[in-house]
Amino acid sequence: MVTRFAPAPTGFLHLGHVVNAIYVWGFARARGGRVLLRIEDHDRKRSRTEYEKALLEDLDWLGFVADEPLVRQSERGTLYEAALDHLRAKGFVYACECSRSEIAAASQPGQELRYPGTCREKHLAEGPGLGLRVRLAPSVERFDDLRHGPQEQRPLEESGDILARDRDGHWTYQFAVTVDDDAQRITHVIRGDDLLSSTGRQIQLARLLGRDPLPRYLHHPLVMKSPTQKLSKADRDTSVRDLRRQGWTASAVIGRAAASIGLVATERPLNASDVAGLFRGVA
């Protein structure tokens, strides 16, 4: 079993990240698996070296230790180019001139943005200022989530063709994470419920890239600050760094995170070495 902890250095770690670490390390350690550390800094506009430094310090303070040296998406451009070339050779890649605001205007209000295929048949020449998309086929992607059970998604209907590289030349989350999970041979993708809807499109993309077998998926609860809002780095919600300054111990922070989503019935101190016990006997 190989899984990964993959934070984006766009803010400080908060309790939601600690929940993810509990699930990632706990699930892996309960099964004798390995945990890889990936810095998902594909968003070059928002990623900061000071945030990466802080998240590594906080992770070390909490006691969550990866089993291999970290990798950074910003250093893996050659890998992504090779994957894109593989898809381009099969006729799956096309240039797109649409802006996010144009896609939003064409999407249903209150629903996820869906690319309507505007540039699919325009046959635009690839070049500066144009995005690159991966052509999806109509499909029903079925998978068993290790927490939610059987799932059924229709990527083309739900999100439209996947943007691999944006108009500024930056690799996108959906593309980079799928290529990375393949290249690192991740067997179990463990992440928050907010990314459950991404799974079907990543499965289809992985299949187009030739991945076999596909990874298993587990989507865990989020720490919510209200019934409809999760904790967010962008909103400067309580960070691990703030709790450290207030005198919290690492075991108290981990215990608070575990209790916040019901992994333990009563809040109590937990060390990073204790979290495997929360997942023994879980399918």
How many of the other CB atoms lie within 10 Å of CB of 71?
19
Give CA–CA dist 172/186, Å, rounded: 19
Amino acid 281: pLDDT:
72
Looking at the predicted structure, is the pLDDT value of residue 34 above 70?
yes
What is the widest separation between alpha-carbon atoms in the chain?
59
CATH number for the domain running over 2-278? 3.40.50.620
How many of the other CB atoms lie within 10 Å of CB of 196?
17
Calculate mean pLDDT across residues 202-226.
94
Give the model confidence (pLDDT) of 132-177 as tens digits.
999 999 999 999 999 999 999 999 999 999 999 999 999 999 999 9
Calculate mean pLDDT across residues 93-106.
95
Give CA–CA dist 27/269, Å, rounded: 19
Tell me the whole-structure pTM to 2 decimals: 0.94
Give the model confidence (pLDDT) of 254-282 as tens digits.
999 999 999 999 999 999 999 999 998 76
DSSP assignment of the chain equals -EEEE---SSS--BHHHHHHHHHHHHHHHHTT-EEEEEE----TTT--HHHHHHHHHHHHHHT---SS--EEGGG-HHHHHHHHHHHHHTT-EEEE---HHHHHHHSPTTS------TTTTT-PPP-TT-EEEEPPPP--EEEEETTTEEEEE-HHHHT-SEEEE-TTSPBPHHHHHHHHHHHTT-SEEEEEGGGGGGHHHHHHHHHHTT--SPPEEEEEPPPEEETTEE--TTTTPPBHHHHHHTT--HHHHHHHHHHHTTSSSS-----GGGGGGGTTT--
Looking at the predicted structure, is the pLDDT value of residue 233 above 80?
no
